[in-house]
Amino acid sequence: MVLCGIDEAGRGPLAGPLTIAGVILRHPIEGLNDSKKLTEKKREELFEIIIQNSDYHIARFSAEQIDDLGLSACLAAGLREIMSTLGEADYLYDGNSKFGVSDLRTMVKADATIPEVSAASILAKVTRDREMVKLAPLYPKYGFEGHKGYGSASHIEAIRLYGHCEIHRKSFKLKSLQPSLF
């Protein structure tokens, strides 16, 4: 049975989508690794090679969906979407939680050791990063093209100054922005 690696990008940011990718490699690809360990240039190069040499599916959940459904429910829905789209395979998800999805194996740090999961990591991260860069001009005060929605000091300061915009996850609460009791 073929192996389908699954990984996500955008689990912890304050803004933007959650992106989950599943990849079945048709041919070996040199240079795969955890997307966080690769340069942006290398991720972009590998993205195109992965697309050309795999069967894949990318599931995406907006900040609004994350706020409405919850992060865990979105992850579960994305895992099920990938499994129903790519069909029969041995599914391996990076991490240690199945989010209630059966017929799924998990492995911590699979994105650094299993090529199919590394490829999924790259597809998820590049897809999400591209979307954040595309959205950045619509919300120029926030600097999304730089931090991609993660909780950098400049991003938190922009939220403090301008409040949330429509791609922020309103359900994510920052202690530094909560009113003090004293």
Q: Are strands 3-9 and 90-94 parallel, antiparallel or unpaired?
A: parallel
List the strands of the sheet with 90-94, edge to edge.
54-61, 18-25, 3-9, 90-94, 105-107
In our burial notation (b when 16+ CB lie closer than 10 A, e otherwise), range 71-96 reads beebbbbbbbbbbeebeebebbbbbe
C-alpha span between 142 and 68 (Å, rounded): 23
Residue-wise pLDDT tens digits, 92-140: 999 999 999 999 999 999 999 999 999 999 999 999 999 999 999 999 9
pLDDT value of position 180: 46
What pTM did the predictor assign?
Answer: 0.94
Residue-wise pLDDT tens digits, 45-87: 999 999 999 999 999 999 999 999 999 999 999 999 999 999 9
